[in-house]
Amino acid sequence: MNKMVHLANILVIDDEIGIRESLRIIFLDTYEVHLAANIAEATLFLKEIDIDIVFLDIKMSHENGLDFLKTIKTTYPTIPVVIITAFPSSQTAIAALRNGAFDYIVKPFDYAEILETAKRALNQRSSDADKENMIYSLRKAVHQNFFSTTEALLHAIDAKDSYTAGHSKRVSFSIAFISEKLGMNTLQTETLRYGAFLHDIGKIGVSDFVLTKPGPLTEDEFEMIKRHPDIGYKILEPIHFLKDSLSIVRHHHEWYSGEGYPDGLKGDEIPFEAMVLSVVDAYDALTTDRHYRIKYSHKKALEIISERINVQFAPSITEKILSIIDKYH
């Protein structure tokens, strides 16, 4: 046999040495075989080796094979698991198939049948991997396309108001970092990152005279500014994969007290992600030069935000965000 060819890795998990050895002999010429006598050993193999198929005894004397099957399917969902059973019609075997086992082999073993099962399991694994790769690249391409398009929109605002594009990119970058530190999951982090990137997109619909006015705004002018979350929401509403980020865009200027805009939501009515964005948004705005004032120091910005907790910003989450900003700024 040509040793340069990559052999698929098979992991056999069985507490009976006789079974482990029989399977080792069956697979010996075709695959790289790893033998585990218990779940602890199997866990180590799964961590250290890129296992392609698992053969698992579901009825071991001291351990629950069915539970371990569930663990494998959760942690390594693409690895096919073939169960070893004496009675394929038993409740446990049926439960195993319902819990994602690829197939079963029956004791005593039929060599040809076992090799055939291993071959089918491998084919399934490689077609699953192809599909996954394709989905990943497609998703990546869609996201890249999407970001270049929205970046163009941001640059369109930039032509009116040089602050917004840079601000949106910075807030989007820091919010991804902060949400990870807050223990949010990948999905929430992504939702926040998109929401942050596009939160001020609605400023495209606000006159540049108002956006760049160096002095204080009149009441009418402020009313015009207050329309940007709703305009942004309407611009992005048709984009299906942004649906989770829409409420962030709409509600990033709501206040904890209910005095914010556009909907005057208060307390827990404000989506959590929008509340997170409002703090990070405020910090970036305060520490950047604006048309109407020069920037505040990091320390002063933290002070201003802290003083507005319970009025503009929610307690607890704002304190956590400020301490992350303070630690890593």
Give the amino acid at 1.
M
Measured CA to CA in angstroms, residue 197 lies from 146, 162, 183, 273 at distances of 12, 15, 20, 13
Binding part of the chain for Fe ion, among 113-121, 199-207, 263-271, 284-292 by CB under 5 A, reads 199-207
Binding part of the chain for Fe ion, among 68-76, 98-106, 109-117, 194-202 by CB under 5 A, reads 194-202
Torsional sign, CA 171, 177, 179, 184: positive
> CB 207 → Fe ion: shortest distance, Å?
16
Position 284 contacts Fe ion (CB under 5 A): no
Which two structure tokens, joined as six digits, stand for 123? 């084919």
Which residues neighbour 53 within 8 Å (Cβ) at sequence distance 6 or greater? 8, 9, 10, 11, 79, 80, 81, 82, 102, 118, 121, 122, 125
Position 200 contacts Fe ion (CB under 5 A): yes
Length of the chain: 329
Minimum CB distance to Fe ion smaller for 85 or for 318: 318
Direct distance between the N- and C-terminal alpha carbons of the chain, in angstroms, rounded to an integer: 58
> CB 179 → Fe ion: shortest distance, Å?
18
Minimum CB distance to Fe ion smaller for 31 or for 197: 197
When CB distances to Fe ion are compared, the closest residue is 200
> CB 252 → Fe ion: shortest distance, Å?
6
Minimum CB distance to Fe ion smaller for 110 or for 237: 237
Listed in order, strand segments (DSSP E) in the chain are 9-13, 32-36, 53-57, 81-85, 103-106
> CB 281 → Fe ion: shortest distance, Å?
6
| Residues catalogued as catalytic | 203
The binding track of 94-113 with respect to Fe ion, each residue x by CB under 5 A or -, is: --------------------
Q: For binding to Fe ion (CB under 5 A), which residues are involved?
A: 200
